[in-house]
Amino acid sequence: MTAEMVLDPPFRPARGASDAACLPPPVTRLSRSCWRGRIVTGGDRALPEEIPVALTYNGSSQAVMMATPADLEDFALGFSLTEGLVRAASQIESLDVIPGEFGIELRMFLSRPQAERLQTRRRIKAGPTGCGLCGIESLAEATPPLRPVESQLRIGADVIRGALETFALKQQLNRQAHALHAAAFWQPGGDLVLREDVGRHNALDKLAGALARAEIAAKDGFVLLSSRVSVELVQKAAAMGTPILVALSAPTALAARACAAAKLTLVAIAREDSFEVFTHPERICGASSWR
């Protein structure tokens, strides 16, 4: 996850390869009884779906993650980029979304040079919901050195407050099911790009894929997270190249140190009326507009 992403014209899946009609919905309603004191009522509740998703490259499985069955092409591309498996979308020659009896396969074939490179650094990951470190082969792999983020971006406090308001409004799946994480990207003059998933790592991967497909450079805006900030999320954000990370919850101490080393501004415990800046505060100013 140390290589900088390269934005170029996104790949396009083979015609008919992604059969969205065969995918389960991201949210399902299930019946339940509700107990309030001595009163029991019936009804149903919307719950998020999670399903095993296998990411395969040139016929070999690289990862199996539990994920929400939505925006899976974004997930495949974003995971490939933030994990350093590819540096550009064009290195993925094809992507098929294949529903199966036990889950969904995201079947990718890489260009020959990248496929050969991948073979030299096999990294099999199989984890529970949103797991970011399962399957690594050494302790050193857990905290690799990160390339410092280079950006002249400066934002005002009111920009963060405005982004937080929009962030809450656009979480449509979580508004239905109340159990999903979200990752979003805010840039001057653009709409908030947001992706949701039961896994916080998956949500950020989906966002990375969405930005790459839209040819949006992450260095020109900042990322918002609904979750706490762990070091794996910092690694993915640094790989994306975003200069500012804003989170609703707190960071771990290791995540804060990683942000400091990567020259990434960390804003956390963000609310409508307050937030805390842990690293590189020079990017946060009192101005009321972007500059």
Residues marked as catalytic: 131
Q: What single-letter amino acid sits at 241?
A: G
Q: Which positions ≥6 away from 268 have C-beta within 8 Å?
A: 229, 246, 247, 248, 249, 250, 251, 275, 276, 278
Instruction: Please give the Cα distance from 190 to 96 (Å, whole number).
Output: 30
Antiparallel, parallel or unpaired: β 125-126 and 60-67:
parallel
Radius of gyration for the chain, computed over Cα atoms and rounded to the nearest angstrom: 19
Using alpha carbons only, give the angle 78, 187, 268 rounded to the nearest 5 degrees.
Answer: 80
Helix (H, G, I), strand (E, B) or coil at 90: helix
Q: At what angle do helices 253-261 and 231-240 cross, to 10 degrees?
A: 20
How many Å separate Cα 12 from the centre of its chain? Answer: 20
